[in-house]
Structure 1
């Protein structure tokens, strides 16, 4: 089976690597254009592009796949990509975290299969891993699905579940789901080749949407319960990094623990900041013990190390 692959970040690169290791022919890869990154804002290739070039695979990086785009450059690049797909000998397109919408003109060329990091129909959309942790879901997984024009609405081919562990962050859960997705897409394509995989419509109930994560969401509201705050801290690790303000200085909080003990102090008040108790913050309900913090320009530090350079006694997190 010959596979055109469309994807951009590391989540997708893991799947592409699994397909290559399994012996699938990949004549063409689509990925997002190189983006500026780092302090020097130099252009960096996506994880998928880097892997594709290592294997000598042709790479296309159109700004859009919509030939009716209003911007002439986007429309021209979409038309060129469409013609290249038509000229490519392939059986199926596999899509994983590509970042561009596939229009009907692309979906009609050959079957398109998506690797989605949630248990559909829960968490359709851009940030399923973040939102599952933030919502307190006890489990998540990967769905292999046929693509259609709706947002993650296509029929399901394969679905597998894993537990969300209490200490899981978006970073750790991402890695688990990426590995699972790579394994599942290989199995799914093998079964398709053998005619042993049947598409099943998604349930009509239980639909939720995983909106894209914004930097503004990273500002913690200590009026929330400690449990909710702890989930947000885990969900926003590594991006965008949850934070609170201390005297207008943004302090990122990377790891924390929700405690049952309530406090009469105003939410955000630092109740303890010492070697005996650690850093404990009053919340709307319960209290929060902070384990790893970072000040602007500094390193991520354990709480006691952080306190040596940034005392928090009698402070308030806004």
Structure 2
């Protein structure tokens, strides 16, 4: 089919590669403008832009698609490029811009979105992280016919993916990216064959995955250890969970932790023990054991290495 692809991060890049491998014609790719990255804050193209350029596909990077918004000239140019591309379908995956009504109506067979949850659960910006944080044991991807709502369109196909007890957001992201790439290829095959049936989303079970906030990174030890361990997994790699330890300037990042099935009468935040097996911290309910940490400006270290260079004050 003749497609326009709109996406930005690695999750979307995996889908773009799969669509190209499946033989679809993609005359235009849309992605977010280049962003500063790295220590030198050098402008860096998105993973999707890099993949598109490698494939020789023209790239559009408007800051907005709203013709009446802050960047009407960029939106108008993007509209002209889309009209010239004349897509049958627009495939959208973690693009990062709101698609106004004119965009949704332009492809002759509509816009399909690859969403990283089993809708209607976890509509919104951070479905992968919120599913882990909430303790879900299963998630997946939904191919959705886009409308003007926030992830409210009809469902076309879904792929289920289990969430392991130790899965981080990075690990789950990779599994969902593969599932999403397979699901969109399957959906387009079914669409061509006339066998793709739209199902309205259920009215019950709607939850929203709020955008991650850096303020959430700091672990609050008054909360239960089970929730804190899930947050460590959910915020790995971004924004990264943090905790203050005695004898160190500034917070450390906690990359891996586990909730221990033991109780303590010590106040939340109390350091209970330091061994090569872990650093144990009292919480609002139970004990949190830290397993992999990183000092400010340092490298990620397993706890047995970390404790050799740190001893809390007596």
Q: Is the CA contact 1:112–1:147 (under 8 Å) kept in the aligned structure 2?
A: yes
Distance 2:32 2:88 in 1: 22
1:150 aligns with 2:149: yes
Q: Identify the residue that residue 51 of structure 1 maps to in structure 2.
A: 51
The C-alpha deviation readout for 1:137-192, integer Å capped at 9, x for no partner, is 11000000000000000000001211100010000000000000000000000000
Partner of residue 271, structure 1: 272
Residues 1:87 and 2:84 are matched in the alignment: yes
The offset of 1:288, in angstroms, is 1.0
- The number of equivalent residue pairs is 310
Hey, what does 1:260 align to over in structure 2? 261
Output the TM-score relative to the length of structure 2.
Answer: 0.97
Give the aligned partner of residue 285 of structure 1.
Answer: 285
Contact 1:278 1:303 in 2 (8 A): yes
> How far off its partner does 1:313 sit?
5.8
Q: TM-score, normalised by structure 1?
A: 0.96
Secondary structure at the counterpart of residue 251 of structure 2? strand
State the distance in 2 between where 1:68 and 1:168 align.
43
Aligned to 2:4: 4
- The question of whether the paired residues in 2 share the 8 Å contact of 1:270 and 1:313 is answered with no
Is structure 2 residue 170 aligned with structure 1 residue 171? yes
Give the distance between the partners of 2:212 and 2:94, measured in 1 at CA.
Answer: 14
- Distance between the aligned counterparts of 1:115 and 1:37, measured in 2? 26
How far off is 1:252 after superposition? 0.7
Aligned to 2:132: 133
1:113-128 superposed matches below 5 A: 113-128=112-127
SS at match of 1:28: strand
Q: Give SS of 1:246's match.
A: coil
Where does structure 1 lack aligned partners over 5 or more consecutive residues?
Answer: none
C-alpha deviation, 1:278, in angstroms = 2.6
In 2, the alpha carbon distance for the partners of 1:24 and 1:187 equals 12
Q: Look up the SS of the partner of 2:173 in the other structure.
A: helix
| Alignment partners' CA distance in 1, 2:262 and 2:197 | 51
Correspondence 1:57-96 to 2 at 5 A: 57-69=57-69, 71=70, 74-96=71-93
Alignment of 1:23-62 (within 5 A): 23-62=23-62
Secondary structure, counterpart of 1:148 in structure 2: coil
* More displaced 10-residue stretch of structure 1: 304-313 or 128-137: 304-313
Please give the alpha-carbon distance, in whole angstroms, between the structure 1 residues aligned to 2:200 and 2:216.
Answer: 33
The answer as to 2:94 corresponding to 1:97 is yes
Distance 1:79 1:120 in 2: 32
Question: C-alpha distance in 1, partners of 2:147/2:175?
Answer: 26
Residues 273, 313 of structure 1: 8 Å contact kept: no
